[in-house]
Chains A and B, each alone.
Chain A
């Protein structure tokens, strides 16, 4: 049995093909385009090619993410909250809290394990209608600082003296960063300060759901080592897990949820 999970986010789209034991057969991460259907098809085709499979091999497809209702070949749509919970739980079965930072939102999810070893969402919090503490916040700041967003993590590691960023609003933080640049402060220190600002913002969210061990970090922003380290510092001494591919947790979760529906279909 093969299932597919597709997570269409505001910034990137992920496809995971999963096998009988929920093992990952292949996965793909592509930037999201305006035409979500096109993105979905391209990502699926690439994942199929990597796994040497065809569309006919897929038994069930679940779509998630902001574009979940725009995937023509999906059998069902499930929210990214449920999917990330399932995906993170698959990576680390002892996970009780999940922190997901994506392109346009961040969320904290509390889960418990059901008798059948599946994750059940108990509570969740999402950021409000504001870009603070999201991937978009980092993108804007990378633009102001004229650095590649992918380099921000490693750059911040070189910081010797973290700058304090007090504004959380993306627009105000941007002008704060510009004035720091004018003070000729090293970029590394500013970036390090930005990462702390994100960690603080996300923490204020997480504190509204019970923070329990273990915590797993997911979402594209977790590719940034700087943000992860700041989060780990803030969450210490609790155990914090970081999957090798934090970005695909949602798509993997979708593929796992798809399996449940295949079972229902064939009965």
Chain B
């Protein structure tokens, strides 16, 4: 039997290098297409993964740790290679991050994108305007023209990434999954920070490998409870790795470094590409949107399609959006008969030891 290779053994993944011409972004609501059409590579800012030290001079410790970690990276030079960074108004913390990033790293080009909380006609109209402003800002700053043609091409490239990731994700609906939840997380994370042409070649290569294993019939059945993970921004796969090391499989996730990234596609034949982007990026059913019913249906549908046994809800301390959403979601899922485990953590990379007992007890409960 041919040894099955993982995504990170694919040649394209390892050959990609260089940090030239990158623009950072911190939210799933920022259209990468605008960055690509401006001739740059999108780069997902995930935080410095070091304890916030410098950041506390600008923002209080009671801020969302993702905001503090990202600011720490801006201040300690981790992100000095970026040509610019787009901060979206997804929470008050991010709103202040915009100020602090500009103050603390004056040479950085920081762009602000406002985002309505509702995807009704008014919200869409507003978001369309906000995106047009961002487009104009990018054009002015980098001296480029973002034409409709360039945008349509970028939309096609990004849709290809989303289609390939969706095909891979759907492999997880079966009982023999060719990769772990941790690997899928790492894969989507990698896809958000590298040149999309390279990304698409790598994904295609990996998909072919997975399908080859399937047709050989040499896939391995995955035992253990099937877990869905959701909640706050998670910059590292260590928590998912911990869950899987305790005998469960993370088979789907409502995370921005996960299925939120591939939830829907952008219309490829639009009259106005910015409008098409607004339509897609404002209708991602995240916890910050007011249309809770659409989000609930999306989540319930996911648990059914992926035959979930239990749900792990991860919330970062001070991440109000998710801390406030949890009681609502918990109630809804419990009525549907799904067990939930709530984990509140200081940071997405630490405190795993304390969390282990809870996760292990939860998996014991599901067996």
Contact = CB atoms under 8 A, between A and B. Distances in A.
B351 A121 contact: no
B339 A123 contact: yes
B263 interface: no
Interface string B341-366: 00010000001001001101100110
Interface stretch (A47-55, A77-85, A193-201, A220-228): A77-85
A122 B354 CA distance: 21
Which label, helix, strand, loop or mixed, suits the secondary structure of the A interface? mixed
Interface residues of A, number: 14
Which label, helix, strand, loop or mixed, suits the secondary structure of the B interface? helix
A257 to B, nearest CB: 9
Given A128-B344, A129-B354, A81 B361 contact: yes
A262 interface: no
B361 A82 contact: yes
Contacts of B364: 78-79, 81-82, 121
A81 B357 contact: yes
A79 B360 contact: yes
A129 B351 CA distance: 10
Given A78-B364, A82-B365, A121-B364, A126 B339 contact: no
Contact of A122 (B344, B351, B360, B365): B365
B323 to A, nearest CB: 13
A60 interface: no
Contact of B357 (A79, A121, A128): A79
Contacts of B354: 129
Interface string B284-316: 000000000000000000000000000000000
A124 interface: yes
Counting chain B CB atoms within 10 Å of each CB, the highest count among A81, A120, A122 belongs to A81
Contacts of A79: 357, 360-361, 364
Contact of B365 (A66, A121, A126, A129): A121
Contacts of A81: 357, 361, 364-365
A124 B361 contact: yes
A24 to B, nearest CB: 23
Interface in A117-141: 120-124, 126, 128-129
A250 to B, nearest CB: 12
A122 to B, nearest CB: 7
Given A79-B364, A81-B364, A121-B365, A126 B351 contact: no
A64 to B, nearest CB: 10
Nearest to B342: A125
A75 to B, nearest CB: 16
Contacts of A80: 357, 361
A126 B344 contact: no
A256 to B, nearest CB: 14
Nearest to A69: B356
Given A122-B339, A124-B365, 5 more contacts: A81-B357, A121-B365, A123-B365, A124-B361, A129-B354
Interface of A: 66, 78-82, 120-124, 126, 128-129
11 contacts: A79-B361, A79-B364, A81-B357, A81-B361, A82-B364, A121-B361, A122-B339, A123-B365, A124-B361, A126-B358, A129-B354
The 6 nearest A-B residue pairs measured at CB: A81-B361, A79-B361, A121-B365, A82-B364, A79-B360, A79-B357
